[in-house]
Amino acid sequence: MARERDGANNHQKDVTQVRNTDANYLAELVELGIALSAQQGREELNQKILMAARNFTNADGGSLYVVNQDESELHFRIMVNDTLETFFVSGRETEKPFPPLPLYDDEGRPNYANIATYVALTGKAINIDDAYSADGFDFTGTRAFDAKTGYRSKSFLTVPLKNTSGVVIGVLQLINARDDAGNVISFDPAIEPIINALASQAAVAIENSRLLVAQRDLMESFVRVLGQAIDAKSPHTAGHCSRVPIIARMLAQAAVDDRDGTFSNFYLTDMEWYELDLSAWLHDCGKIVTPDHVMEKATKLETIHNRIHEVRTRFEVLRRDAEIEMLKRKLDGEDALQCEADFARRVTELETQFAMVADANIGDTELDTDTIFALHDIAEQEWTRYFDRTIGLSWSEQQRLDDAKLAELRATGTEKLLMDRETDIYNGFNRGELYNLSIPHGTLTSEERQVINDHVVITQDMLAQLPYPKELQRIPDIAGNHHEKMDGSGYPRGLTGDDMGILEKVMMIADVFEALTAVDRPYKRPKTLSECISILADMRDKGQIDSDLFELFLTSGTYQEYGRKYLREDQRDEVDIAQFIVSNPD
């Protein structure tokens, strides 16, 4: 009876021990599931998966493979072996220990010879006691590895990693299970359900990680496509949206690298770098709705085309009228020499007047009051129109005109040489010829300039509508405040330096510097580095850009690095930065 009771007690102890072991496994699986669900990098995730599997089985080594995107190969990701004291991670090793494993041969037949590819193709786990005596699988590569390293690969446990749809996305392979004394043994079949459960958790974690990366890549690609579309919209600003991120990242990196200066405590997390990149690419997204005729307005009379040609034709008409008048006077018996002298004087007058109009159309010099008055005097001259101005108009153009205006346009008669018609005002723009020619400086009217400036407001409105994750909440401000100034004179919000963070101030400098150095703007010649730095220094002196960031821009050599990589040789002149550095008594 005593022996029976002792046997019963021992059995109970065994049951209790098994339950405790199962409970420990369950607790570890739960803990691992929590760890795998945390956001982390791909390499860290792979390490956690392999480490957990080896801990469960006390395996000497192990490897992790993932199926590539077109499901044609298994790609090595990580391998660990205690005996060999090896730790390989894909992308970091000097020599790849394992090439990709093809899942199919050249004729498209499944590759069942390799144990890892067999598991990937069939989705079945394989437990082998001794690779050297196993049938059905080709362990030639394993034997070669052993011969090279002096290792003895024996027991193998290979399990598939299946996602939530049951599709194999990877393979986990464990090598040489060990007992408590360190001897190599077979993998206990009782542990397989635990490893399969771990593999399922691992597959979900890997799939989630892939989805997060895919979402991030998709968002970044979409943002870049949008930026490239805006650049492509105008050949005169081509490349701006792609170059500003380069300058912004360079300057931000200089601030991060600053060890002893003003920015010694400044750093950026991976998500903050990502936030800066997206913001820089999106900073001009509002230009997607800016009318082309405003973006492309290189002269004052330009809309879809440069209307100076129409004005010149009217001058040609006046010249021909003068010639006709001369010939009529001769036929009427007036003095021929006097008639020709009057005609020559009129031609000279018209040529001088047109030269003034054409020069005013360019917009590269400021018009004084006398010139504007002279343009108005020139505009008062009349020429005779004989053709109906409503012929050839589109339906939408005619819809803008009432019956009285249509009748007026149909009637022939005299017209002013330069005109500001009521019909020239629509869609918020005044396209009047005299109105546009009288712009004091540049080529844009006040309404057009406001539309250009409003691209920032539209940018802010567009970006404010997007549902950002917590880590990217500052994108609307970083992207939308690049036209603000430290002294509050910027737009559209009139913010001051105290209202903005470092990355917003970085964007301000990056945007201005790119615009100054750009070679594709129709309204200015390309500037040299020294000219650009001088202009930035003047903005700093006026309190418009951040002084510390500007000086870091110079002392870190950021301006030189950008110039060396992205500017023309004739722009890369020497800059004496000492003259722009303001000593700080603090």
Q: Tell me what pLDDT residue 523 has.
A: 57
List the beta strands (DSSP E) in 360-479: 382-385, 413-416, 425-426, 429-430
Domain made up of 235-293+449-571: CATH architecture: Orthogonal Bundle (1.10)
Q: Tell me what pLDDT residue 3 has.
A: 45
Rounded CA gap, 85 and 73, in Å? 27
Which DSSP string do the residues of 2-27 spell out, in sequence order?
A: HHHHHHHHHHHHHHHHHHHHHHHHHH
CA distances, 508 to each of 126, 481, 490, 491 (Å): 60, 8, 10, 12
> Is-contact 65 173, C-beta < 8 A?
yes
Which residue spans of the chain are classified as CATH 3.30.450.40?
40-211
Query: Which tokens hold the place of 78?
Result: 């990580």
Whether residue 551 is predicted with pLDDT greater than 90 in this model: the reply is: yes
Q: How confident is the model at residue 2 (pLDDT cuts 50, 70, 90)?
A: very low
- Can you list the alpha helix ranges (DSSP code H) found in 363-445? 369-379, 395-399, 403-410, 433-437
Q: How many Cα atoms occupy the beta-carbon half-sphere of 312 within 13 Å? A: 9
Alpha carbon 127 to chain centroid distance? 48
Contacts of 260-269 with CB under 8 Å at 24 or more apart are: 261/548, 261/552, 262/548, 262/552, 263/502, 263/548, 263/552, 266/502
Whether residue 8 is predicted with pLDDT greater than 50 in this model: the reply is: no
Q: How confident is the model at residue 225 (pLDDT cuts 50, 70, 90)?
A: confident
Q: How many CB atoms lie within 10 A of CB 411?
A: 10
Share of the chain above pLDDT 90, in %: 50
Which H or E element spans position 170?
strand 168-178
Rounded CA gap, 578 and 562, in Å? 19
Torsion sign across C-alpha atoms 249, 254, 259, 262: negative
CATH topology of domain 40-211: Beta-Lactamase (3.30.450)
Q: Which residue has the tokens 């000492």?
A: 578
* SS3 label, residue 414: strand
Q: Which residue has the tokens 């206990």?
A: 188
Whether residue 496 is predicted with pLDDT greater than 60 in this model: the reply is: yes
Whether residue 216 is predicted with pLDDT greater than 80 in this model: the reply is: yes
Rounded CA gap, 485 and 500, in Å? 10
Q: Tell me what pLDDT residue 32 has.
A: 64
Average pLDDT value for residue range 264-277: 93
> Is-contact 585 550, C-beta < 8 A?
no
Alpha carbon 243 to chain centroid distance? 10
Which residue spans of the chain are classified as CATH 1.10.3210.10?
235-293+449-571
Q: How confident is the model at residue 363 (pLDDT cuts 50, 70, 90)?
A: confident
Assign residue 367 a region (left: φ > 0; alpha: ψ between -120 and 50; beta: otherwise): beta
Rounded CA gap, 576 and 107, in Å? 67
Average pLDDT value for residue range 195-205: 84
* SS3 label, residue 101: strand
More confident residue, 449 or 42: 449
Average pLDDT value for residue range 283-297: 80
Rounded CA gap, 544 and 14, in Å? 79
> Is-contact 238 232, C-beta < 8 A?
yes
- Terminal-residue alpha carbon distance, the chain: 93
Rounded CA gap, 438 and 425, in Å? 16
List the beta strands (DSSP E) in 389-502: 413-416, 425-426, 429-430
Whether residue 160 is predicted with pLDDT greater than 50 in this model: the reply is: yes
Q: How confident is the model at residue 41 (pLDDT cuts 50, 70, 90)?
A: low
Q: How many CB atoms lie within 10 A of CB 292?
A: 11
Average pLDDT value for residue range 26-55: 69
Q: Tell me what pLDDT residue 401 has.
A: 78
Beta partners for residue 74, in sequence order? 67, 101
Whether residue 586 is predicted with pLDDT greater than 50 in this model: the reply is: no
3-state secondary structure 49-67: HHHHHHHHHCEEEEEEEEE
Average pLDDT value for residue range 427-451: 88
